[in-house]
A = this chain, B = another copy of it.
């Protein structure tokens, strides 16, 4: 299993969620975050305001998923989150050694 973490633009969150639901994701965890990415001298625009300073509001999404679905999950997020403008986001994948569903105690693949 793997943990896919995606940091995306807030206004893209609904589209990303819908794309993940359509793909068949069974769970995800969302937190509000602030992001700093390389802007190469450009400014990033959020709700009409220009952020040339470093911190811009972002949504951080975590998805624990099976190995065989990781590539697709990353592709689904990237496709749904992209606008072509700077600051579109970053997605990274980390190995997961075990998972438990709290209600039932089910483990690993059965817990997803």
Contacts and interface: CB of A to CB of B under 8 A. Distances in A.
Interface residues of A, number: 54
Contacts of A95: 94-95, 97
Interface in A84-112: 84-103, 105, 111
> Which of A2, A91, A105 has the largest number of chain B CB atoms within 10 A?
A91
Interface of A: 1-3, 6-8, 17, 21, 26-38, 54-55, 58, 60, 64, 74, 77-78, 81-103, 105, 111
Given A27-B90, A29-B34, 9 more contacts: A8-B102, A21-B54, A26-B37, A26-B38, A28-B35, A31-B60, A78-B102, A82-B103, A88-B101
